[in-house]
């Protein structure tokens, strides 16, 4: 984790004696403040249309600008993961969500402003009130529906999303073959 190189001064007292404490923390030898770089929570949604095709988005911003993604984002400090996925779908697609079901989670590293942020990405299957009126907004450049047989995890820019798409393909294929 490179936060140890980027955070050189104690955020509490400003001391230069802000040193590595352990793998995921730094401690100030002047005031005793300890800073932990714990995982941030993030959410992503699997949304399928009536033909079973998965809704995928195109990223409008870095990291991984221009690659495919699932709609979602970071959980705010005052909300549940379920509330976050509903909010993110409203922000990114102007979509009203009618159901949210947790599926699985994956760890990820999210590069932002030169800092690698560890995240715990929570994946949900979501149903929308209306699929015809959604539109790309916020940090989504566009979206499309892709059939399972045409999904390619390598076209997705974030590592956890690549892994999630692979799991999604395997799970749906197993369900179809059962």
Q: pLDDT digit string (tens) for 105-141?
A: 999 999 888 888 899 999 999 999 999 899 999 999 9
pLDDT at 30: 98
Q: How confident is the model at residue 176 (pLDDT cuts 50, 70, 90)?
A: confident
Give me the residues paired with residue 110 across strands.
Answer: 117
C-beta of residue 106 within 8 angstroms of C-beta of residue 56: no
pLDDT confidence of 1, banded at 50, 70, 90? Answer: very low
pLDDT at 39: 93
Distance in angstroms (rounded) separating the CA atoms of residues 70 and 126: 12
**How many other CB atoms are there within 10 angstroms of residue 76's CB atom?**
12
Q: How far apart are CA 14 and CA 10, in angstroms?
A: 5
Tens digits of residue pLDDT in 157-169: 999 999 999 999 9
Architecture of domain 42-107+122-177: Alpha-Beta Complex (3.90)
pTM of this structure: 0.91
Query: 20-74 pLDDT, tens per residue?
Result: 999 889 999 999 999 998 999 999 999 999 999 999 999 999 999 999 999 999 9
Residue 99 has pLDDT above 50, yes or no: yes
Name the segment(s) of the chain with CATH classification 3.90.79.10.
42-107+122-177
Geometric angle at alpha carbon 33, from 29 and 38, rounded to 5°: 120
Q: What gap in Å lies between CA 177 and CA 160, rounded to an integer?
A: 26
In tens, the pLDDT along 2-19 reads 677 778 999 999 999 999
- The residues near 156 (Cβ < 8 Å, ≥ 6 apart) are 56, 67, 68, 69, 70, 162, 165
């Amino acid at each position: 984790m490179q936060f140890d190189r980027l955070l050189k001064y104690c955020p509490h007292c400003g001391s230069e004696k802000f040193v590595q404490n352990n793998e995921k923390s730094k401690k100030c030898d002047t005031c005793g403040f300890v800073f932990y770089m714990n995982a941030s929570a993030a959410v992503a949604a699997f949304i399928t249309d009536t033909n079973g095709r998965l809704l995928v988005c195109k990223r409008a911003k870095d990291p991984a600008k221009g690659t495919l993604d699932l709609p979602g984002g970071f959980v705010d400090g005052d909300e549940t993961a379920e509330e976050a996925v509903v909010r993110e779908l409203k922000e990114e697609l102007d979509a009203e969500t009618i159901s949210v079901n947790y599926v699985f989670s994956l760890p990820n590293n999210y590069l932002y402003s030169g800092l690698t942020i560890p995240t715990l990405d929570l994946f949900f299957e979501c149903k929308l009130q209306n699929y015809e009126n959604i539109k790309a907004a916020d940090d989504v450049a566009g979206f499309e529906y892709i059939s399972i047989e045409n999904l390619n995890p390598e076209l997705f820019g974030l590592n956890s999303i690549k892994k999630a798409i692979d799991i999604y393909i395997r799970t749906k294929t197993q369900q179809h073959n059962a």
